[in-house]
Amino acid sequence: AQTVTQSQPEMSVQEAETVTLSCTYDTSESDYYLFWYKQPPSRQMILVIRQEAYKQQNATENRFSVNFQKAAKSFSLKISDSQLGDAAMYFCAPPRYQFYFGTGTSLTVIP
Amino acid sequence: NAGVTQTPKFRILKIGQSMTLQCTQDMNHNYMYWYRQDPGMGLKLIYYSVGAGITDKGEVPNGYNVSRSTTEDFPLRLELAAPSQTSVYFCASSYDGAYSGNTIYFGEGSWLTVV
């Protein structure tokens, strides 16, 4: 069964502002990967960012960064300087053998 | 670059009919997956395969069957279609599992309506 929680079904952010999407998960592993994927209205799934658990440093990809709290099993996504093109569903993928996804957070960007 | 290709893109089925969603990938990936996504919801894993000849159930396998006779192809069979199977279906592939950090690549989706 899935062991990932995205507690914010919907979020909104003003253009150019910062927003944080939350994700918590459960695992008994010590080394693993976590992912955030984006699904815009086109429905295409796009990798946003990936974090390896043993790395202390939080992953960053341009305006996207994560706040990875291993002990708390928390993996939040921060989007800085939000743009209209960031409007999408965002899915967290927990540490599992296969690719499972959370229930998603729908992000609206307000001009 | 083709990536993951799935067909058809749209299909309307009558209750009780059967059909096969085709999926092929040209990236020599070992892992292939089928997901369904109901409106406004997340992706649920139906079946997955870790290589030719090996398949296993995901979260919601009932009403579906798969086969993996080649590395490239992973068709999804719907038997006796029901309205509850109305959904968008995504095929995906990755070189290795999520534990390895590999990226998963998705097809463009197949919209299926059962009436």
pLDDT at residue B85, as a whole number: 97
What confidence category does residue B88 fall into, taking pLDDT thresholds of 50, 70 and 90? very high
Please state, as a whole number, how many other Cβ atoms lie within 10 Å of the Cβ of residue A61. Answer: 12
pLDDT at residue B107, as a whole number: 94
What confidence category does residue A96 fall into, taking pLDDT thresholds of 50, 70 and 90? confident
Assess whether pLDDT exceeds 80 at residue B29.
Answer: yes
Q: Would the CB atoms of B42 and A91 count as touching at under 8 Å?
A: yes
pLDDT at residue A97, as a whole number: 74
* Strand intervals (E) in chain B: 4-7, 10-13, 19-25, 31-37, 43-51, 54-57, 64-66, 76-78, 87-94, 105-106, 110-114
Q: Mean pLDDT, chain A, as a whole number? A: 92
Q: How far apart are CA A89 and CA B37, in angstroms?
A: 12
CATH number of the domain enclosing A25: 2.60.40.10
Within-domain flag for A61:
yes
Q: Would the CB atoms of A99 and B59 count as touching at under 8 Å?
A: no
Q: Would the CB atoms of A33 and B45 count as touching at under 8 Å?
A: no
pLDDT at residue A42, as a whole number: 86
pLDDT at residue B1, as a whole number: 66
Q: Output helix, strand, coil percentages for chain B, rounded to the nearest 5.
A: 5, 50, 45
Domain holding A68, by residue range, is 4-89
Within-domain flag for A34:
yes
Q: Mean pLDDT, chain B, as a whole number? A: 94
Task: Looking at the complex, report in whole angstroms how far the Cα of residue A94 sits from the nearest Cα belonging to chain B.
Answer: 9
Assess whether pLDDT exceeds 80 at residue A9.
Answer: yes
DSSP annotation of A15 reads T
Question: Which residues have C-beta within 8 Å of that of residue A71, sequence separation ≥ 6?
Answer: none
Residues of A in contact with B97 (CB under 8 A): 97-99
Question: Which residues have C-beta within 8 Å of that of residue A7, sequence separation ≥ 6?
Answer: A22, A24
Checking DSSP bridges between strand A64-69 and strand A4-5, what pairing results, if any? unpaired
**Most confident region among A75-89, B30-44, B96-110 by mean pLDDT:** A75-89
pLDDT at residue B39, as a whole number: 84
Q: Would the CB atoms of B99 and A97 count as touching at under 8 Å?
A: yes
A3 has a chain B CB within 8 A of its CB: no
pLDDT at residue A105, as a whole number: 96
Q: How far apart are CA B13 and CA B78, in angstroms?
A: 10
Residues of A in contact with B42 (CB under 8 A): 91, 101-104
pLDDT at residue B53, as a whole number: 95
- Domain ranges within chain B, ordered by starting residue: 4-109
Checking DSSP bridges between strand A10-14 and strand A105-110, what pairing results, if any? parallel
Residues of A in contact with B48 (CB under 8 A): 98
Please state, as a whole number, how many other Cβ atoms lie within 10 Å of the Cβ of residue B112. Answer: 20
Task: Looking at the complex, report in whole angstroms how far the Cα of residue B112 sits from the nearest Cα belonging to chain A.
Answer: 14
pLDDT at residue A39, as a whole number: 93
Integer angstrom CA distances of residue B23 from B4, B27, B75, B83, B92? 7, 13, 5, 22, 8
* A13-56 pLDDT, tens digit each: 999 999 999 999 988 888 889 999 999 988 888 999 999 988 88
Task: Looking at the complex, report in whole angstroms how far the Cα of residue A13 sits from the nearest Cα belonging to chain B.
Answer: 19
- Sign of the alpha-carbon dihedral angle for B37, A52, B57, B71: positive
pLDDT at residue A30, as a whole number: 81
Q: Which CATH architecture has domain B4-109?
A: Sandwich (2.60)
Assess whether pLDDT exceeds 70 at residue A1.
Answer: no
Assess whether pLDDT exceeds 80 at residue B2.
Answer: no
Domain count, chain A: 1
CA A2 to chain centre: 16
Assess whether pLDDT exceeds 60 at residue B63.
Answer: yes
Residues of A in contact with B104 (CB under 8 A): 45, 47, 99
Residues of B in contact with A97 (CB under 8 A): 97-99
Within-domain flag for A95:
no
What's the CA angle centered on A50, arms A12 and A107, to 5 degrees? 10
Q: Would the CB atoms of B99 and A2 count as touching at under 8 Å?
A: no
What confidence category does residue A99 fall into, taking pLDDT thresholds of 50, 70 and 90? confident
